[in-house]
Structure 1
Amino acid sequence: MIFETALEIIDRDGVDGLSIRRLGKALHRDPMVLYRYVPHKTDLLDGIAEEVLSQLRVDTTAGDWMSQLRVVAHDFRRLALAHPHVVPLLVTRPLSTPLALRPLGTLRPLEAILTLLTRAEFAPAEALDIYRSFFGFLHGHVLTELQEVVEQPDETDDVLRLGLHRLPLREFPLMRGLAPELASYDGAAELERGLDILLAGLQANLRPHGGSIDES
């Protein structure tokens, strides 16, 4: 209940809007009592990250590892869009914490994907390479998608909507020329295109131990 309520506060007011005092008020509890469960705000933030990632399901028994990674990717994107203020806790905050010191709940997707891939007969080191490439792409995608690109939503001209008219034309002709594409960004479609490229590259360069490369 503590982390669920804290997540509601962050969804509404952002990470800066969360404090033990506000959480206590929302729970109708004395803030001093909450310190028994979450001694520091960092513990609270770690618990929220675990709360969100507990919703990320990985079917470790799936027979098609690439299809399962697509499912995981879209599920992660769904969680990111549902809780945009939490994304830094999932993507950038862990980078400042040694792997073994991160909350166990944030490590379970890693273990699950390693299990999926080793069951597909990838060597553990190769499974780790796939995981790093996969989540490196996925984190970059959600951070890009959550960036606000439209400056003037009431404008009908894409260059004006995006504020690209402020860029010197001679220095940024390609960027200004891509205004329609930038303005019509489709996160789900872009994710699929990126996954096509990533998974095709992984499939071309890595093979499960039980598989073979067609040299014909």
Structure 2
Amino acid sequence: MGFPDQSTNPAGTRKARLSRELVLSTALALVDKEGLEALSMRRLGQELQRDPMSLYRYAVNRAALLDGISEMVFDELAIFPDDPDWQAQLRRIAHDLRLLALRHPNVVPLLVTRPLSTPLGLRPLGTLRPLEQILALLIEAGFTPATALHVYRAYYGFLYGHILNELQEYIVDPEESEAILRLGLHRLPAKDFPHLRALGPVLAEYDGAAELDQGLSILLTGLTNHLTTHP
């Protein structure tokens, strides 16, 4: 049973006027709370207390909702293509993207895998903005356009790999001081997983921001050397 599309709810208070921003922000909040599987027009209509049919004006189907969520998340990522300090800019973007992923972990699979099924030119414009702006940043820094594209691929490949890895660093018992127990590694057969169990203390001390910074330093050093030796 759908909800009537009216201006007030049963309590008599006025409901917010429907808009694309309200629909997408509610969809994003629903995914953050319950995961991508929970998102449907019917479920979103329940969250908004509206007839699901009224939502098709703002998103023609679930796929359009997913595209809109991707654009909304990427809109939170600030990029300044004219910044002359391209290394600092790439480092800041990386840390900002990591924080975005930690705020919206349920959206990360959408950002990483959904583009695989969509040709580049057919993707939502908002999801292509970071690509265009980072290309501009790198070309302005002195990289050729083709090299800038290779750099972008290596950069985002590293970032998404790091983010997916960090999101897998689950802590079973945060209050436990013993690393093996804290990570749940005691459940692994000792004879089959000796290295993982031995690395318990290192795994337990995982620092996502520091790990990202170390990887960025390696990547940026290589890119700087390339720019110096291939003017």
TM-score by length of 1: 0.90
SS at match of 1:55: coil
- The code of the aligned residue for 2:178 comes to D
SS at match of 1:92: helix
Alignment-derived partner of residue 224 in structure 2: 203
- The code of the aligned residue for 1:158 comes to A
- Pick the aligned partner of 1:55 from 63, 76, 79: 76
- Pick the aligned partner of 1:95 from 98, 110, 116: 116
SS at match of 2:57: coil
| Equivalent residues, number | 210
Alignment-derived partner of residue 22 in structure 1: 43
SS at match of 2:158: helix
Q: Does 1:71 align with 2:92?
A: yes
SS at match of 2:79: coil
- The code of the aligned residue for 2:135 comes to L
Cα separation, 1, equivalents of 2:172 and 2:117: 32
Cα separation, 1, equivalents of 2:149 and 2:86: 14
1:150, distance to aligned residue in structure 2 (A) = 2.2
SS at match of 2:106: helix
1:17, distance to aligned residue in structure 2 (A) = 1.6
Cα separation, 2, equivalents of 1:82 and 1:46: 18
Cα–Cα, structure 1 residues 24 and 170, in superposed 2: closer, same or farther, change >3 Å?
closer
Give RMSD over aligned pairs. 1.8
SS at match of 2:143: coil
Cα–Cα, structure 1 residues 22 and 170, in superposed 2: closer, same or farther, change >3 Å?
closer
Unaligned runs of 5+ in 2: 1-21
Q: Deviations over 1:55-101 (max 9, x none)?
A: 11111011111110001001101111111111111112212222122
Cα separation, 1, equivalents of 2:98 and 2:203: 19
Unaligned runs of 5+ in 1: none
TM-score by length of 2: 0.84
Moved more, 182-191 or 27-36: 27-36
Q: Does 1:123 align with 2:144?
A: yes
1:149 and 1:183 in contact (8 A); partners too: no
Cα separation, 2, equivalents of 1:43 and 1:212: 45
- The code of the aligned residue for 2:113 comes to T
Cα separation, 1, equivalents of 2:48 and 2:131: 33
